[in-house]
Structure 1
Amino acid sequence: MTETNNAAEADRAVKAKHRKMWALGDYPAVATQLIPELGPTLVRACDVRSGQRVLDIAAGSGNAAIPAALAGASVVASDLTPELLETGRGFAAERGAELEWREADAEALPFADGEFDTVMSTVGIMFAPHHRAAADELLRVCRPGGTIGLINWTPEGFIGQMFATMKPYAPAPPPGAQPPPLWGREDHVRELLGDRVTDVEAHRRTVRVDRFAKPEDFREYFKTNYGPTIAAYRNIGDDTERAAALDRDLDALAQRHGGGGGTFVMEWEYLLFTARKRG
């Protein structure tokens, strides 16, 4: 019993750190200013329509949940971080969308088996530390014959490479945690879902990011707004040499992905994955 209690306490501590990290900066700005088309892209891929019951896991401020609600579905937007949900409520009100917002852990969802027609996540579920647990929950709450839809950053794409770049500077991951960009590998997602799904479709696509004039602009924007980047710099603390080294590494990464032709435009690769839960 003590071992079980210790494991539960450790998991609560991990989730508290995740919750705090995603509340840093301004992730809703990142979602709305840099990647606003990802949510509608997933909603279309899942063929969300009126009358359906839809769950958006790790919904953040509603990048996919709000478009799903505007398509006429009955939507629940769930996320571990209440600050993101609160911002999402404001966004939904501005757009005239009605949906439910629920604080929830992707690895222990507070919903019944088979409750939803469509279960989706846009660059969200990938950050749950235990991939198998999150995948099992994703499937559990989807009805037989229902739709699974995911957009996740690939390991080889810009955001996947950004996490690899930040890794030496960032806090150590908790024991048993898997790297988020693995969710951007088709074979990894297929292995997680196994024979519990059919009609799998997986496509690598990119989203164009042209907001920044130069790599340094990107770096400063992420240092200000993106929780994982803020956490990496905070982990460095007052070590100015390491902070300068991370600055240089992020600038070099951005330059490799966005340089050339006299402009600074990046194409961020993601995996669009859809399937049906086996009936």
Structure 2
Amino acid sequence: MNRTTYSGDAVADVVLRPESTSDPIKQKHRAVWASGDYAAVAREVIPALGRVLVDACDVRAGEQVLDVAAGSGNAAIPAALRGADVVASDLTPELLDVGRAEASRRGLELSWEQGDCEDLPYDDASFDVVMSSVGVMFAPHHQAAADELVRVARPGGRIALASWTPEGFVGRMFATMRPFVPAPPPGAQPPPLWGDPEHVTALLGDRVTDLAWQRRELPVDRFAGADEFVAFFKRHYGPTVMAFRGLADRPEQAAALERALLDLARGHHRGRPTPGWEYLLLTARRA
């Protein structure tokens, strides 16, 4: 595949790459994240997470930054607000459209480019910062995605990732949904593994230095209780939307999934005025 060299010239258009969506697995992933309204999740539930990531990798004015699996720009827009030249790359152009509109509203120029995080369309060593806010973790083939994160970072460049942990609320939500959704294709790995520091350390290997990680909790005060959380995620969060859509002709199973999610959320909210969602914050430099 021909790769492009990122020059730092920000453009406002979404660059579409048809080869990114020719793989049936990638088509399915795109459909999942195009369903519902993930931008509402990023805007209303986890808006602080992108800013945390930008702070962690110390984005500076004039640097060339790649936000991988950027969605609607939860991290890309805060990076651009610091004066960086930012490329927001995602498999789902519908999310990029939302991000582009929000960036325009703020008077910001970013490059919004459709791309597969397992086969990024950029030359080696193109970016000062490569980051992903609960995005690259959903790539089905973890090693391929990790290889790309390292490849496009310049020597000495920073890599920063925020990923939901297996033990945290979102990781447990995926475990709760697992019996109700089709089995993943052969070779696909569970997204919350990116929240396991040993797993990510092994993926990156000796190609990085100064690797550091910490588990943190993101305060989530959007929901008054479990019922509001489940209703919101049934409408807006792609994986949950698709799980219920797949059970449309099995109402008993759909009801069982809803009860299971309510039980999970009630247990997590119990006694906690502001429940936290645990994530792994990991930073490194390309060797």
Distance (whole Å) between structure 2 residues aligned to residue 116 and residue 140 of structure 1: 10
User: Does residue 274 of structure 2 align to residue 274 of structure 1?
Assistant: no
Paired position in structure 1 for 2:249: 238
1:252 equivalent in alignment to 2:252: no
What pairs with 1:112-151 in structure 2 (closer than 5 Å)?
112-151=123-162
Which range is displaced more, 160-169 or 10-19?
10-19
* Runs of 4+ residues deviating >3 angstroms: 8-11
Residue identity matched to 1:190 = T
- The question of whether the paired residues in 1 share the 8 Å contact of 2:20 and 2:114 is answered with no
3-state SS of 2:124 partner: coil
Deviation sequence 1:1-25 (CA, Å, 0-9, x none)? xxxxxxx999700000100110001
Q: What's 2:83 paired with?
A: 72
Distance in 1 between the 2:253 and 2:22 partners? 30
Aligned mates of 1:103, 1:10 — CA distance in 2? 9
Question: 1:269 is matched by which residue type in structure 2?
Answer: E
RMSD after superposition: 1.5
Spell out, residue by residue over 1:24-80, the C-alpha distance to the aligned partner (whole angstroms, 9 max, x if none).
010000001000000011001101001110000000000000010110111000000
What 5-or-longer segments of structure 2 have no aligned partner?
Answer: 1-18
- Structure 2: distance between partners of 1:213 and 1:66: 28
Q: Give runs of aligned pairs for residues 69-218 of structure 1, distance below 5 A.
A: 69-218=80-229
Q: Is 1:43 matched up with 2:54? A: yes
What secondary structure is seen at the aligned counterpart in 2 of 1:109?
A: coil
The Cα offsets for residues 170-196 of structure 1, whole Å up to 9 and x where unpaired, read as 122111000000000100000000011
TM-score under structure 2 normalisation?
A: 0.91
Q: Distance in 2 between matches of 1:183 and 1:53?
A: 24
Q: Give deviations 1:190-219, integer Å, cap 9, x for gaps.
A: 000001101011010011112212211110
Q: Which residue of 2 aligns with 1:224?
A: 235
Question: C-alpha separation between the residues in 1 aligned to 2:54 and 2:161?
Answer: 10
Q: AA paired with 1:20?
A: A
Contact 1:171 1:231 (8 Å CA) reproduced: no
Q: Unpaired runs of 5+ in structure 1?
A: 1-7
Distance of 1:149 and 1:21 partners within structure 2: 25
Distance 2:221 2:266 in 1: 13
2:40 aligns with 29
Counterpart of 1:274, as a letter, is T
Aligned to 1:4: none
2: CA distance, partners of 1:63 / 1:130:
23
For 1:174, give the aligned amino acid: P
Question: Matched residue pairs, number?
Answer: 269
In the other structure, the counterpart of 1:16 is 27
Cα distance per residue 1:223-273 (max 9 Å; x no partner): 000000011111212211111111110001001111126x4x321000000
